[in-house]
Structure 1
Amino acid sequence: MEKVRRASHAGSWYTDNSKRLAEELDGWLREAGLPKSPEVRGVIAPHAGYSYSGRAAAYAFGNIDPTSISRVFLLGPSHHYYTPKCALSTATVYKTPIGDLPLDLEVIEELKATGKFELMDICVDEAEHSMEMHLPYLAKVFEGHLIKIVPILVGAVNAENEAMYGRLFAKYVDDPSNFFSVSSDFCHWGSRFNYMHYDKKHGVIHKSIEALDKMGMDIIETGDPDAFKKYLLEYDNTICGRHPISVFLHMLGNCSTKIKIKFLRYEQSSQCKTKRDSSVSYASAAAKVDA
C-alpha cells in the first residue's frame, strides 16, 4: 500500500508552483554552470528556504551526472525529534511539486534488519525540512531517470555510533549506482542561535564567521572524522548537519573507493557587522572519486 510523505514545506520554504519551481532550479543550475561528472558520488548541500540557500545548493547538485545512478541515500539532521540513533522513513513515496520520488523499500528492509535503526513516524518525517529541501533538486537533476531514495534521519548520534553507521553504509559507497546527498547548513550566528563566537583578528564579524566555517570545511575536505570532531569540540560551531557529515566521513574512510570532498561554494544569509545581527552560512561540496 502506498504511504505518502507530503511536500509539507512547499508553499512556504519554496514555491509549490511546479512551473515556477522547475524554472527557478533550472536557472540556478545554469548559473552555477558546472560540468556533470560521473565521478561525483555524493554532495553536501544546505537545506534552508530556497530564497536563502537555493542558489548555493545548485553548486552541489549541478555536479551530478544522473545516467548511471539508480539510488540516492539522503542523510539529514533531526531538528525537532530527539533520537540517539538514525531513523528510517515509513513512507513509500516522497512527494515534490515537480515529481514524486519512490523509496527503496528493499534497502530500507535490509537496514531495518540490522537492528541499528528506529522508524520515524510520518508526522516526524513531514515536520523535518532537512531532507525535504534536497528533494526538488534531486527530482530536477534526475528528471527522466528512474531513481529510488533511502532517507536517513540522523539523530544526536555519539562519536562511536557515527563510526558504526559509517562502517555499515560503506559497502553502499562502493556501488557506483548509489549516490549520497548529505544535508547541512553551516554556522548559525547570533543571539537567537545562542552562538556568538567572534575572533577580532579577522576583522568584521562576518569575516570571523567565514574563517571559522572555512576552517571546518578544510577539515571536512581532509576526510578525517576525528579532526572534524575535535574542531567541533573546540569551537562548537553550530553546523546543524554535523552528525550526517561525520557519518559520511566515516563511510568514505571505510569504503574501498577513494573519494575526496571538495567545497565549491560558500555564502551567508546576511553579513553580520554588530552583535545584534544574525546569519546562517551555506556551503556546497561534491564528493568525487579520486583517481
Structure 2
Amino acid sequence: MRNPTVAGQFYALDPSGLEKEISRCFGDIDISQQNIHGAVIPHAGYMFSGPVAAYAFAQLPEADTYIILGPNHTGLGSAVAISQDTWSTPLGNVETDKELGKSLAGSILDVDEMAHMYEHSIEVQIPFLQYRFSHGFKVLPICMGLQDEETALEVGNQISSAITESNKKIFVIASSDLTHFEPENVANDTDKYLIESIENMDVHEFYRRISERSATACGYGPISAMLTVAKSLGGRTGKLLKYGTSADVTGDSSSVVGYAAVVIE
C-alpha cells in the first residue's frame, strides 16, 4: 500500500474537507467530458494550483486506466519507475493497473516503489480523479527521474505500443509545474514560450526552448512522453485552458511558480 505523504500539507487530510477543497477548485467551471488525447496538469498545493488543474480535470474522459507521468523530485529509486502498489488517499484506495504495468516493465521502465514513496507529483492528481469519477478506474503511476529527450520519447513510444495492444480505454496525464521562483513577468514570458511548443506538439522544439531559456519546468520529460503518446493516438494540437502563478494566491510577484492546464485535442 502506498500511503499518502502530502495529505494535510498539499491538500486536506480530512475526507469531507478534501471534497470541499476540490469542489472550490472547480468553482463554476463547466464539467464536460471532451474527446481529448492527453493533458498537462500542475501538481502544487491545491490552494495554489488546484483552480488551474481543475480546468483540465473538468474535460477528462472516463477511462479504464489513467497513466500519470510525474517527475522525480526526491532522487530516490529507478530512473523511470512504475508503481504497482495500491494507492491510498483520504478519499479511499485506487488500484494500479498491474497488467499494463507488467507489459511496460523492462528496458528503461522498472517496477520500483522507492521512487514513489515520498514523491508528490503523482499523489496530488489522484484525489482529483476520485472526486471527478465514480467508476472503478485504475491508475498507473510512472515517476521519471531521467527526463532527457531520448528517454521521454522511448517512454512515450512504449506506452503507445502498450495502449495499442490493450483493449482498454487509457488516458495519459503529464504532471508538471512550469517556471519556478522567477519574477512573475519572467515566468509569464518563459511559460508562454514553452506552452506554444506544447500546443504545437513539437517535442524537439520544446526541449530546444527549455535549453534556450534554462527553463525550470519540473516535468518536461513527462510532458514530452505524454505528447508522444497523444500524437500516436491522433492528437493534433494542444489547447491552453488556464494559466496562473502562485502570485494569484500570495500576491507576491517577485518569485512565483507557474501553472498551466493544457489538453491535447
Superposition TM-score, scaled by structure 1 size: 0.83
Match of 1:128 among 119, 127, 139: 119
Secondary structure at 1:64's aligned position in 2? coil
Query: In structure 2, which of residues 143, 150, 153 is the aligned counterpart of residue 160 of structure 1?
Result: 150
**Alignment: residue pair count:** 260
Partner of 1:15: 12
| 1:84 Cα offset (Å) | 7.4
CA distance in 2, matches of 1:117, 1:176: 20
The residue aligned with 1:171 is: 161
CA drift of 1:33 comes to 2.2
Shift of 1:74: 0.7
- Give the structure 2 partner of residue 196 of structure 1: none
The CA deviation string for residues 152-179 of structure 1, in whole angstroms up to 9 with x for no partner, is 0012232222222221112355567111
Cα distance in 1 between the residues matched to 2:78 and 2:147: 5
97-106 vs 23-32, which moves further: 23-32
Write out aligned runs for 1:37-76 (5 A).
37=34, 39-66=35-62, 69-76=63-70
Residue aligned with 1:31, SS: coil
Counterpart residue identity of residue 226, structure 2 = F
16-25 vs 216-225, greater mean Cα deviation? 16-25
Percent of pairs with identical residues: 28
| 1:210-263 Cα shifts (integer Å, max 9, x gaps) | 12111110111000100001101100110001110111222234x152343211
Consecutive unaligned residues of structure 2, counting only runs of 5 or more, are none
What do you get for the CA RMSD once the two structures are aligned? 2.0
The answer to whether residue 103 in structure 2 is matched with residue 107 in structure 1 is no
For 1:15-34, what per-residue CA distance to the aligned partner results, in whole angstroms no more than 9, with x for missing partners?
A: 01101111221232242224
The 3-state SS of whatever aligns with 1:44 is strand
Letter in 1 for 2:79: K
SS at match of 1:262: strand
Listed as ranges, the matches of 1:1-291 within 5 Å are: 4-37=1-34, 39-66=35-62, 69-81=63-75, 85-91=79-85, 93-112=86-105, 114-122=106-114, 124-143=115-134, 145-172=135-162, 177-190=169-182, 205-253=183-231, 255-270=232-247, 277-288=254-265
Pair 173,40 (structure 1): closer, same or farther in 2 beyond 3 Å: farther
- The answer to whether the 8 A contact 1:83-1:156 is kept is no
**What's the offset of the Cα at 1:272?**
5.5
Unaligned runs of 5+ in 1: 191-204
Report the secondary structure of 1:5's partner residue.
coil
Q: Distance in 1 between matches of 2:99 and 2:132?
A: 23
Kept in 2, the 8 Å contact 1:104–1:148? The answer is yes
Asked whether the 8 Å contact 1:96–1:139 carries over to 2, the reply is: no
Q: Which amino acid aligns with 2:89?
A: T
Q: Select the structure of larger CA radius of gyration.
A: 1
**CA distance, structure 2, for counterparts of residue 95 and residue 86 of structure 1:** 22
258-267 or 147-156, larger mean C-alpha shift: 258-267
Question: Is the partner of 1:156 in helix, strand or coil?
Answer: coil
**Is contact 2:80-2:109 (8 Å) kept?**
yes
